[in-house]
Amino acid sequence: MLKLEHVKKQYKDFHLDCSLTVKPGMITGLIGANGAGKSTTFKAVLGLIRTESGMVELFGKRPEEITPEDKERLGVVLADSGFSGYLSIRDLIPVLKAMYHQFDQTYFEEQCRRFELPMTKKIKEFSTGMKRKLQVLAAISHHADLLILDEPTAGLDVLARDEMLTMLREYMEIEGRAILISSHISSDLEDFCDDIYMIDHGQVILHEETDTLLNEYGLLKVDGKQYERLDKTYVLRSRKETFGYSCLTNEKQFYQENYPDIVVEKGSIDELIMMMVRGDRS
């Protein structure tokens, strides 16, 4: 559905070099700290910034082949955009109808009621959560095949985030759809995505299916002696700790079977990311 190959963009002291693939039926997460390059990647996908080199392919087409009909197959929420605060949802409906031939007004209104979004209140009076929900609803109400959502959960409380993820899971019930979603908070996405890319300083530092990350990656907690005799073939990163070393592995089972005396922790996605970013290469 979407493919990026070494898409490069240089800002003064920032260099993006991003490759990723979004497949139909999959929710793909792009996780990275503030300033890691998530929004820059999204803008490159959407042709909103000029890139230096690399390849973007959307729905199997190069950017110059994309038609207005193809664009309607996209639903987009960008981190730093929104609807005019002076409009109400009532005012917005004709705008959405004009923008998208397939805009489903009945569905949109139903969902606004379900998520308690008032129809006549000005959007500038909405809370952050209400604005975010409205943006996502507008993006999914024209039967798009691919959603590109930059930090849709930012600033949401647990309840609002849950409602948004429910809305997106329901969107995915139709076969062949896909989502590319970013967040700087990995726990927002770890139960939601099928596939995860971690980006740091503009580079993809890890790409794995979520199941693999959660089942095969782990953290070994070893003292100095255990570290010395450890076979480090499957250790991706190590870090000195007060008790000895933490080691990140992508073959947790190997260590569980061969080193029954060492502690092997599952590790949350946040911990795995911390190790990838801050740990030393073995």
Binding site for ligand ATP (CB under 6 A): 11, 14, 32, 34-40, 79, 184
Output 11 or 243, the one with its CB closest to ligand ATP.
11
| 100 in Cβ contact with 140 (< 8 Å) | no
Smallest separation (angstroms) from ligand ATP to the CB of 146: 19
Output 95 or 154, the one with its CB closest to ligand ATP.
154
Interhelix angle 89-99/128-140, rounded to 10 degrees, is 30
Smallest separation (angstroms) from ligand ATP to the CB of 193: 16
Output 39 or 111, the one with its CB closest to ligand ATP.
39
Output 184 or 221, the one with its CB closest to ligand ATP.
184
Smallest separation (angstroms) from ligand ATP to the CB of 272: 18
Smallest separation (angstroms) from ligand ATP to the CB of 198: 11
Output 49 or 262, the one with its CB closest to ligand ATP.
49
Smallest separation (angstroms) from ligand ATP to the CB of 172: 24
Output 32 or 129, the one with its CB closest to ligand ATP.
32
Output 79 or 263, the one with its CB closest to ligand ATP.
79
Smallest separation (angstroms) from ligand ATP to the CB of 35: 4
| 218 in Cβ contact with 238 (< 8 Å) | no
Q: How far is residue 189's CA from residue 207's CA, in Å, rounded to a whole number?
A: 14
Dihedral in degrees, nearest 10, Cα atoms 168, 171, 174, 178: -60
Q: How far is residue 19's CA from residue 56's CA, in Å, rounded to a whole number?
A: 9
Smallest separation (angstroms) from ligand ATP to the CB of 128: 15
Tokens describing residue 59: 């729905």
